[in-house]
Chains A and B, each alone.
Chain A
Amino acid sequence: MAIEAGKIYAVWLRETKRFTNSKSRIIGSLAMPLFFLFALGAGIGGLVPEFDYQSFILPGIIGMTILFNSVFSGVSIIWDRELGYLKELLVAPTSRFSIVIGRALGGATTSVLQGFVILIIGVLLGLASPGLFEIFLALLVMIVFSALIVSIGIGLASVITEVETFQLIVNLVIFPLFFLSNALFPLDKMPGWLQTLSLFNPVSYAVDALRGLIIGVGVNSLALNFAVLLVGLVIMFGIAGTLFDRTSI
């Protein structure tokens, strides 16, 4: 369980270089959240003229951007297995633990970067006007939330080895986490069962924290949201580390 800074950095470097080397992927992954923000925001916003819906979902869309990219980043270990690179990683004299940390940080870096771009776009369009300190806190929330989700992805990819399962993960993990949360709707307007499910969903806590920081309408205190996300990160990271440790070439 040795922690090796240089080797963690190597894994992080690979993640971020892969990201910056594929420009089309960056544009593609920003397109969907922007569609949600504008098409859905304008459409549903038109139904509730007394409520600034577009501003309301801005933190939800930031959460969505980070959620999608983080799951994909973690689960991409399945592709590394299929395309062979996992062998290169696993035979190196580098502990599995370092590999998981490097990947979680790498995935968080690229995901938060994209979430941050959405935030900037929102601010430029006048959907929100947070102060610099709030933006700094929002970044912290995004990083912890993203690392938590990447860990879930790594855990899944350590158990599931077939590339064919990729789509299944999207349908059974990403969509439930996204839609069974407060990202698009205020929790108190939702039916009771949805409110209950949402209580166990890290996305809800991340979005609520961002909402409080960016547009000032959070339900829980920032401390509670942040604490839940941190505990979630520790648990998920532990599970991911254990499962990845057992994975074989």
Chain B
Amino acid sequence: MTDDAIVVKDLTKKFGNFTAVDHINFSVKKGELFGFLGPNGAGKSTTDFMLTTILPPTSGTAIINGFDIITDSEKVRKSIGIVFQDQTLDNRLTAYDNLDIHGRLYGMSSGDRKQKIKEVLQLVELADWEQKLVKTFSGGMRRRLEIARGLMHQPQILFLDEPTLGLDAQTRRHMWKYIEKLREQRITIVLSTHYLEEADALCDRIAIIDRGKIVALDTPQKLKSLIGGQVLSLKTSDSKKMLSILEKQKIGSHGRILDRAVLVEVQNGSTLIAKVVSLAEKSGVVIENIELHTPSLEDVFLKLTGEQIRDERPGPNEFQRRMNHGH
């Protein structure tokens, strides 16, 4: 028990008739970088909000750093840092003041604040920007400052909710570097994301969450090994026909159609290609493209949830309305 930073027990949240989070159980070890992967609306943010005591659970509970989120919420808050997916900085204040006021709100002493501000600004490479107003910052710099602020009061756990949402690919990779650096601080990190490559690159363990339930929880490597062998992907003139041919001939397993491609899991893909091509030709299906790849998290996700990860998301207001509605 003492090795666990977070223990979640039967945590459930309902908004009216809609069950956003459905009796989930898991635990996060101290110092672990734990990922929550799922499409928007899967229940990631709702789970985050319950663990950070912003939303009360409908039933079940969680123990954070030894404190119960329901009966000891004030102590939970003091021991965690939260970086929300939407900006929560004050644009009209300097970086320094944003951090300083945060420190005061968390009851830090003057000496601690000064020292920590220096430290966290250096960590996210914003030391030269200390006295600049946040409204002059770029999107990537603001995210970094948010992370710095989340670390100000020396939390034992840092919650990062979609830390790279809305950032361009280059800035995103840059952000990963900072998140990697946080590991050196020996802090537990709970990262929510819907970017598969992000979860793959950063996390020690990943919980895949879909429709309020955890459908898989393991290391990225073990998750990928859920798919035996390789994935054969075929773009053809008639996906349905192609799939039924493969199924009839018992070529591969777990066949499915994604967009215009047919995907099957195979063991010895390269020797199968010739056979597949001749079968297609015989049935009059034109093959435009064949690919054979090692499984990615995307394949795992698709297999477990039957869906591609969706990129659209509810705006902050829509989400807020939904939450208010549930109250």
Residues of the B chain whose Cβ atoms lie less than 8 Å from the Cβ of A88: 88-90, 102, 105, 149
Which A residues touch B82, using CB under 8 A?
91
The verdict on B84 contacting chain A, using a C-beta distance below 8 Å, is yes
Q: Does B324 sit at the interface, judged by CB under 8 A? A: yes
Identify the stretch in A16-24, A26-34, A170-178, A193-201 within 8 Å (CB) of chain B at 4 or more residues: A16-24
Residues of the A chain whose Cβ atoms lie less than 8 Å from the Cβ of B91: 83
* Contact call A7/B54, Cβ cutoff below 8 A: no
Which residues from chain A contact B106 at a C-beta distance below 8 Å? 92-93
CB-nearest residue of chain A to B87: A84
A84–B93 touching, CB < 8 Å: no
CB–CB B86/A21 < 8 A:
no
Evaluate contact between B90 and A85: CB separation under 8 angstroms. Answer: yes
Q: Give complex CA distance A13, B87 in Å.
A: 21
Cβ of B74 to closest chain A Cβ, rounded Å: 5
* A17→B320 CA distance, assembly (Å): 29
* Contact residues in A for B149 (Cβ distance below 8 Å): 88
Nearest Cβ distance between residue B314 and chain A, in whole angstroms?
15
Whether a CB of chain A sits under 8 angstroms from the CB of B198 is no
Give Cα A11–Cα B78 distance, bound, in whole angstroms: 18
The answer to whether B88 touches A4, judged by C-beta atoms less than 8 angstroms apart, is no
Q: Which of A57-93 contact B (CB under 8 A)?
A: 83-85, 87-93
Interchain pairs with CB closer than 8 A, number: 76
Most interface-central of B87, B88, B91, B320 (chain A CB within 10 A): B88
Task: Tell me the chain B residues, 58-98 only, with Cβ under 8 Å from chain A.
Answer: 74, 77-78, 82, 84, 86-94, 97
B229-263 interface bits toward A, Cβ cutoff 8 Å, 1 = contact, 0 = none? 00000000000000000000000000000000000
Q: Is the CB of B77 within 8 A of A93?
A: yes
In the bound complex, CA of A222 to CA of B87 (Å): 47
Q: Among the listed A10, A17, A18, A249, which residue makes an inter-chain contact with B54, where contact means beta carbons less than 8 Å apart?
A: A249
- Cβ–Cβ < 8 Å partners of A9 in chain B: 104
Contact A248 B105 (CB under 8 A): no
Q: A85-B90, A87-B88, A93-B78 are in contact. Are A13 and B101 (CB under 8 A)?
A: yes
A245-B241 Cα distance, complex, nearest whole Å:
61
Which chain B residues border A83 with CB–CB below 8 Å?
87, 91
A-B contact pairs, 7 of them (CB 8 A): A6-B107, A7-B104, A10-B101, A14-B101, A18-B90, A85-B88, A93-B105
Closest 6 CB pairs of A and B: A10-B104, A84-B88, A92-B105, A93-B77, A88-B88, A93-B78
